Chains A and B, each alone.
Chain A
Amino acid sequence: MIISVASGKGGTGKTTVAVNLALSLDASGTGTGAPPLLLDCDVEEPNAYLFLNPNPGVEEEVKTVCTVIPEIEEERCDYCGKCASSCEYNAIVVLSEQRRVMLFPELCNGCGLCTLVCPQNAIREVTREIGTIRRYRSDGIELVYGVLNIGEVRATPLIEQVKEAVKTERTVIIDCPPGTSCPVIAAVQGSDYCILVTEPTPFGLYDLKLAVETLKMMGIPSGLVINRAGIGDREVYKYSEAEGIPILLEIPYRREIARYYSEGIPMVRAMPEWKRHFASMMERIRIEIGGRGGMRDEG
């Protein structure tokens, strides 16, 4: 079962929900006998690991992630410029008169069209590192997260690589990036259910509506976690009722919760009573999925 945690607006508490939910499901709670697998797909700013202390001596597995970019074999190239004119991303510029080819690797999306187009077979592909994927076990869960290299533009290829760790027979929780554009789609795609984390403010509501539209388009059922409950107004609640989107959990605004968060301490560690709330949210989600005839109830 794959549960993603998303939000239109940033900073609403996605990581808080993803980490605490994962920590609230022991191996028996996942219904599969295996510990939950937490994937941090917010590769631009991955934060989940900050809340999970790797056990001393635990070997962290690190993998480099690459995409491919073209490389021009100048001795074959006749500077015809077909590669440049076919590239939709302006990643190649050919200066025919100066007999020069300029590449802009960060614009390249690795589609390979230039290699197909080149009449001289002068383009081959080489790999280029865009980030890393790290994996370790800690606190009874397994975490896999991606880290995009500084200056890289495209997060999506790295997100897709992180998602290769998904095992459908396990309970997988995916911490997504904020927004509604392509990195979010890449992270959420394939989920059985999506938890949308919002806050009861005008910004929270506006961006929530965008996120709900995104999920509707993708055909993924969703429910809400209202974080910092009590700080704003009731509009998010009215919206949820009007749209028939269930409220799965409310996390009140309390200075001590904010304090634990600021220290990088998961709230279920500091306030163990919350474990029950997160675990019952999972039960609720199983029922929601079952009720929609999507996935079978594994619990």
Chain B
Amino acid sequence: MKQIAIVSGKGGTGKTTIVASFAALATHKVIADCDVDAPDLHLLLHPGVVKQVEFRGAKVAEMDKARCIECGTCASVCRFHAISYSDSRSSFIINPMRCEGCGACAFICEQDAITLRERVSGYIFTSHTKYGIMVHAQLKIGEESSGKLVTAVRTSAQEVAEEKGCELILIDGSPGIGCPVIASLTGVDLALVITEPTTSGLHDLVRIMDVARHFGIPRAVCINKYDLNEANSQKIADFCHHQGVPVAGKIPYDRVVTEAMIAGMPVVEYSSGTVSRAIITLWEHVNHIL
């Protein structure tokens, strides 16, 4: 079984557009939307949820005020400033938004007034789409553990793939280079990095490429909207050449991408124009690399 993660340092370069089209082009695959804090793939693939599982990633400290003697020791050990004295309540209180669930407060409290409680920090869905099975998730607002949720989505996707004998997992990643991105990249067979020919796009490409290399992951690049600035596209191609990384595709800018999004369809199904042809060529190259 092969796994390919579609990532980009910079947001909005077209990851989801490309994953949706790959979903329409690939056979025998499982689709995993690992952009868990702003997932959009479902808007193009219209999954019908068959299974929903609670995800308990983080814990949160809770205070039993009947036991608390307001000594404040908990506040003094909390490094995340999650416990503070509230003048209006004349009492120490925990701010769950700041709590990292480490348990230092619960350990130090001599009154046993603090316990760590698991909280539901998101949901994992297994769904049917006309393109095959899709595993996706929604992190609750403001939750941490997005990396753990990504790992949980990937584990579910692997189980489904093994059960159904699928040969490929398509992973839609999140922007950035931190926790959820690293969780999306770990152990994949190919990181396909989508970039755009802008100063920011090139800068962010360099960083995500460094991250993938740091973890020893094979890389390929796709330049989306390449014709918006051909000089920058050339700079990107030169950078890739220098790194020994193939440019697997170049996709022109076309409003048809937005039209397909509004129609709620993968662009390769919506149109047979230049964008779709470029994505098909990209897909062929990616398969060749895999």
Chain A residues contacting B215 (CB-CB under 8 Å) are: 151
Chain A residues contacting B201 (CB-CB under 8 Å) are: 262
Binds A, one of B152-160, B206-214, B275-283: B206-214
Decide: A155 near B178, CB < 8 A? Known: A9-B12, A210-B38, A263-B199: yes
Shortest distance between the CB of B186 and any CB in chain A (Å): 11
Contact yes or no, A181 B228, CB < 8 A: no
- Give residues of chain B (28-67) contacting chain A, Cβ–Cβ below 8 Å: 36-38, 40, 43, 59
Does A36 belong to the interface (CB within 8 Å)?
Answer: no
- Give residues of chain A (88-137) contacting chain B, Cβ–Cβ below 8 Å: 88-89, 109-113, 116-117
Contact yes or no, B108 A45, CB < 8 A: no
Chain B residues contacting A89 (CB-CB under 8 Å) are: 102
How far, in angstroms, from A184 to B97 measured CA to CA in the complex? 12
Chain B residues contacting A239 (CB-CB under 8 Å) are: none
Chain A residues contacting B79 (CB-CB under 8 Å) are: 110-112
- Give residues of chain B (177-214) contacting chain A, Cβ–Cβ below 8 Å: 177-182, 196-201, 203-204, 207, 210-211, 214
Shortest distance between the CB of B91 and any CB in chain A (Å): 21
Contact yes or no, B207 A45, CB < 8 A: yes
Decide: A203 near B16, CB < 8 A? Known: A113-B103, A258-B228: yes
B42 closest partner in A (C-beta): A206
Selected contact of B37 from candidates A51, A112, A180, A262, CB within 8 Å: A180
How far, in angstroms, from A206 to B286 measured CA to CA in the complex? 29
Chain B residues contacting A207 (CB-CB under 8 Å) are: 38, 40
- Give residues of chain A (142-163) contacting chain B, Cβ–Cβ below 8 Å: 148, 150-156
B253 closest partner in A (C-beta): A258
| Contact flags B4-22 to A (C-beta < 8 A → 1, else 0) | 0000011111001000000
How far, in angstroms, from A112 to B74 measured CA to CA in the complex? 13
Does A201 belong to the interface (CB within 8 Å)?
Answer: yes
Contact yes or no, B10 A179, CB < 8 A: no
Chain A residues contacting B196 (CB-CB under 8 Å) are: 262
Chain B residues contacting A117 (CB-CB under 8 Å) are: 107
Chain B residues contacting A15 (CB-CB under 8 Å) are: 200
B40 closest partner in A (C-beta): A203
Contact yes or no, B38 A178, CB < 8 A: yes
Contact yes or no, A181 B142, CB < 8 A: yes
| Contact flags A228-259 to B (C-beta < 8 A → 1, else 0) | 00011100000000000000000000010011
Chain B residues contacting A116 (CB-CB under 8 Å) are: 77, 104, 107-108
How far, in angstroms, from A231 to B262 measured CA to CA in the complex? 10
Chain A residues contacting B146 (CB-CB under 8 Å) are: 179, 181-182
Shortest distance between the CB of B16 and any CB in chain A (Å): 7
- Give residues of chain B (147-179) contacting chain A, Cβ–Cβ below 8 Å: 147, 174-179
How far, in angstroms, from A252 to B174 measured CA to CA in the complex? 26
Selected contact of B262 from candidates A47, A88, A111, A201, CB within 8 Å: A201
Decide: A113 near B104, CB < 8 A? Known: A150-B177, A261-B198: yes
Chain A residues contacting B77 (CB-CB under 8 Å) are: 112, 116
Does B115 belong to the interface (CB within 8 Å)?
Answer: no
Selected contact of B258 from candidates A183, A184, A218, A231, CB within 8 Å: A231
Shortest distance between the CB of A170 and any CB in chain B (Å): 23
Decide: A182 near B142, CB < 8 A? Known: A11-B10, A44-B9: yes
Decide: A152 near B12, CB < 8 A? Known: A202-B261, A259-B229: no
Chain A residues contacting B178 (CB-CB under 8 Å) are: 44, 148, 152-155, 183
Chain B residues contacting A255 (CB-CB under 8 Å) are: 228
Residues of chain A having any CB pair with chain B under 8 Å: 8-12, 15, 44-45, 47, 50-51, 86, 88-89, 109-113, 116-117, 148, 150-156, 177-185, 201-203, 206-207, 210, 213-214, 217-218, 231-233, 255, 258-259, 261-264
Sample (16) of A-B pairs whose CB atoms are under 8 Å apart = A10-B11, A11-B11, A45-B9, A50-B200, A111-B102, A116-B104, A150-B211, A152-B178, A178-B38, A178-B175, A181-B143, A202-B43, A206-B43, A214-B142, A217-B141, A261-B199
